[in-house]
Structure 1
Amino acid sequence: MELKKLPYDLTVCKLTSIKDVNLENEFYFFSKTDEELSLVCKTEDTPLNTIEREDGWKGFRIQGVLDFSLIGILSKLSGILADNKIGIFAVSTFNTDYILVKKENFDKAMDILAKAGYRVI
């Protein structure tokens, strides 16, 4: 399985609304529940009016389109990282999964996953 590094720093934050988010930006994730509105975006694109924010994330995605019948892909990756004391923030799209780790752990995470048999590009 191939993992592709994302070439930018990421921020995870809470917002009161999406009105200050440029929806033309190339990369972002929104999630909204009855309790919060969250945004993951390039750090350089983070809106100024966040409620809370945490900078310092890097990410990678599982390359290709994952069929919904595939089981345990995210679990296996997160388990390998957890066994090595690396926490994650995961986001899924229709096509694939994205995993974010803190910047200071990113190179270590990529090395561990490469040694576990994943192809990192």
Structure 2
Amino acid sequence: MTTYNLARYPERLAVVQLGPGSEVPSWAESSSVFSITATSTETSIICASRSVPAKTRHHRPYTAFAVVPDEGSADFDIASGVTGVLVALLTPLADAGVSVFALSTFGTDWILVHESDADRAEEAWRRSGHTVAPATPA
């Protein structure tokens, strides 16, 4: 099985659900990961948790882990045909009973876990041969 390097980000994140076609609210602060996903039935935002209004439908706090691609790697280029990245990373978490919120960007995969499960997720990955290190500030 292929193993991966992950970066753990320090920010506390929230996953917010808004109605379909919603504008991005002014309180939605960007963080190490800031994502907007819109479908015909909802708009979801991942953002810094510190300013999310209590009456907004959301879950928090989450910790983000990003897969760190090897230098020059095409692992996250969909056209390269690489498969199994998320399976390799999510299987140890499922086995450990850790729930996830996963998303992918053009350059990598992100896995969010509830803050209370972050250390357990890290340990599950290490037992599976993956490495986890604090994220390097950009």
Normalising TM by the smaller chain, what interval?
0.7 to 0.9
- TM-score, length-normalised on structure 1? 0.87
The alpha carbon displacement at 1:93 in A equals 0.5
8 Å CA contact 1:4–1:60 kept in 2: the answer is yes
Q: How many residues align?
A: 120
The alpha carbon displacement at 1:31 in A equals 0.6
- Tell me if 1:54 matches 2:64: no
- TM-score, length-normalised on structure 2? 0.77
Structure 1 residues 9-68: Cα deviation after superposition (integer angstroms, max 9, x where no partner)? 11001124224246883431011101000101111253x386411112111000126222
Q: Which amino acid aligns with 1:119?
A: T
Query: What residue is the counterpart of 2:15 in the other structure?
Result: 12
**Alpha carbons of structure 1 residues 28 and 112: separation in structure 2 relative to 1, 3 Å:** same
**Alpha carbons of structure 1 residues 59 and 19: separation in structure 2 relative to 1, 3 Å:** closer
* Distance in 1 between residues matched to 2:131 and 2:24, nearest whole Å: 39
**Alpha carbons of structure 1 residues 34 and 67: separation in structure 2 relative to 1, 3 Å:** same
Q: Which amino acid aligns with 2:77?
A: D
Unpaired runs of 5+ residues, structure 1, are none
**1:66-105 → structure 2 map (5 Å cutoff):** 66-68=76-78, 69-105=81-117
Q: Which amino acid aligns with 1:54?
A: H
Query: What residue is the counterpart of 1:39 in the other structure?
Result: 45
SS at match of 2:125: helix
SS at match of 1:117: coil
**Alpha carbons of structure 1 residues 19 and 84: separation in structure 2 relative to 1, 3 Å:** closer
8 Å CA contact 2:67–2:110 kept in 1: the answer is yes
Q: Which amino acid aligns with 1:41?
A: C
* Distance in 2 between residues matched to 1:63 and 1:89, nearest whole Å: 18
Aligned-CA RMSD value: 2.1
SS at match of 1:110: helix
SS at match of 2:120: helix
SS at match of 2:122: helix
Q: Which runs of 4+ in 1 moved over 6 A?
A: none
8 Å CA contact 2:29–2:47 kept in 1: the answer is no
